[in-house]
Amino acid sequence: MGSVPASDLRGDYKGAAPDFSVEQNWHNYTAEEHALYRRLFERQSKLVPRYACAEWIDAIGALDAAHEIPRFDAISRKLKSKTGWEIVAVPGLIPDDAFFSHLANRRFPITVWLRKPEEFDYIVEPDVFHDFFGHVPLLSDPTYADHLYEYGKGGLKAMRLDAITMLARLYWYTIEFGLMQTEAGTRAYGAGLLSSGGELAYCVDDPKPRRLPFDLERVMRTEYRIDRYQDTYFVIDSFEHLMRETAPDFTPIYARIRSLPTFAADAA
Ligand code: PHE
Ligand code: CO
C-alpha cells in the first residue's frame, strides 16, 4: 500500500513512468544480490512445507524462481496463461491510486531492488524478495487472482468514498497477514508471513497472538502495527470464503462502520 511519502522511500522514482512502472534491468543485479536472494529463498523453503497454504506450495515450483532473482517478463508469461495476471517493476511503494489501478488491470507491482545483507532477517519496506516470494505464487491461483482483481477495483471505489483506511485494514489482515484453516491445520497465505523468517512459524505455532475467524467488519475496524509481529490474525476457510465475504457492496458498510470505535491491534 502506498501511503508513505516518496521522499522517505529508498527506491529511485526519478525514471518511473506516470503509472510508476520502471524497467527491471535484470542484468544490473549483481552476483552478490542473486546469491542473497537465493539464501533468502532457501531459508523460507525450509519453512513453507509446514506453514504455507497448499495453494502457495502448489504454485511456487512452476515459477522456477529458486536460483536467482527472477526475470519479471518470464514470470508474467507464465501467470498470464494461467490467470491473466502479469507483474510490473516499480521503484518501491507507490501511491494508492497507482497501486489500485495496477491491480484493477491484473498487474501486480513488484519492487525491483533487493534488501542489503544486513537486512536478511528484517526489512521495513517491501523489497523484491518479499514482493515476489510472498505475493506472486498465489497469482497463479484462479480464485485468489480474481479476488485481488476485485480488490483493486474496490480500492479505486474506496478512494472515491474516502474509505481507504478501512479497506487498507482488509488488505493488511488478508493479503499481507492472512491465515487459512485447512485440513492440515492453520496455514499462512499472507505475503508478509510467507516471506518472513520469524513470523511464519510464529503466526501458526505461538500461543500468544489471537487468531479470530474472518469477520469483515471486525477486520475493517481493527488497527494494525507495522513494526512488530501481529497481535491479531484473521482466519479464512478458503479463498472462495474470502471471495464470498468480500463480494458485497462495501458502500453501506463503510457508511455504517466509519464512525464506530476501532479495535486496537492487541484488543482483547
Ligand atoms: N466488494 C467490495 C466493494 O464493493 C470490493 C472488494 C472486493 C474489496 C474484494 C475487497 C476485496 O467495494
Ligand atoms: Co506485501
Of 189, 187, 265, 267, which is closest to residue 229 (Cα–Cα)?
265
**pLDDT digit string, tens, across residues 212-256:** 999 999 999 999 999 899 999 999 999 999 999 999 999 999 999
Question: Which of 153, 244, 245 most suits a substitution to test ligand 1, by most atoms within 8 Å of the C-beta?
Answer: 153
Whether the per-residue pLDDT at 258 is higher than 60: the answer is yes
Closest Cα to atom 10 of ligand 1: 151
CB of 154 shorter than 6 A to ligand 1: yes
- DSSP class of residue 121 equals S
Do residues 161 and 252 touch, judged by C-beta distance below 8 A? Answer: no
Residues whose CB is less than 8 angstroms from the CB of residue 33 and which lie 6 or more positions away in sequence, other chains included: 69, 114
Question: Which of 169, 246, 253 most suits a substitution to test ligand 1, by most atoms within 8 Å of the C-beta?
Answer: 246
How distant is the alpha carbon of residue 218 from its chain centre? 20
Of residues 268 and 256, the one with the higher pLDDT is: 256
Quick one: which atom of ligand 1 is closest to the CA of 154? 5
CB of 246 shorter than 6 A to ligand 1: yes
Burial class (CB in 10 A: 0-12, 13-18, 19+), 219: buried
**pLDDT digit string, tens, across residues 48-62:** 999 999 999 999 999
Q: Which ligand has an atom closest to residue 196 CA?
A: 2
pTM over 0.85: yes
- The bridge status of strand 179-182 relative to strand 210-213 is unpaired
The pLDDT, as a whole number, for residue 30 is 98
How many Å lie between the centroid of ligand 1 and the Cα of residue 243?
Answer: 9
Question: Which of 1, 143, 150 most suits a substitution to test ligand 1, by most atoms within 8 Å of the C-beta?
Answer: 150
Distance, in Å, from the CA atom of 115 to the CA atom of 260, rounded to the nearest integer, reads 39
Whether the per-residue pLDDT at 84 is higher than 60: the answer is yes
Residue 184 φ/ψ, nearest 5 degrees: -80, -5
How many Å lie between the centroid of ligand 2 and the Cα of residue 268?
Answer: 26
- The bridge status of strand 185-188 relative to strand 179-182 is antiparallel
Look at the block and give the residue holding cell 534491468: 25
Cell of 4: 508513505
Closest Cα to atom 11 of ligand 1: 151
Distance, in Å, from the CA atom of 131 to the CA atom of 88, rounded to the nearest integer, reads 11
The pLDDT, as a whole number, for residue 2 is 47
**pLDDT digit string, tens, across residues 161-218:** 999 999 999 999 999 999 999 999 999 999 999 999 999 999 999 999 999 999 999 9
Handedness of CA 245, 243, 137, 56 (dihedral sign): positive
Distance, in Å, from the CA atom of 47 to the CA atom of 43, rounded to the nearest integer, reads 7
Q: Which ligand has an atom closest to residue 123 CA?
A: 2
Q: What is the mean pLDDT of residues 122-141?
A: 96
Cell of 84: 491473466
pLDDT band at 267 (very low <50, low <70, confident <90, very high): confident
Whether the per-residue pLDDT at 158 is higher than 80: the answer is yes
CB of 152 shorter than 6 A to ligand 1: no
The pLDDT, as a whole number, for residue 268 is 61
Quick one: which atom of ligand 1 is closest to the CA of 248? 1
CB of 100 shorter than 6 A to ligand 1: no
Mean pLDDT of the chain: 95
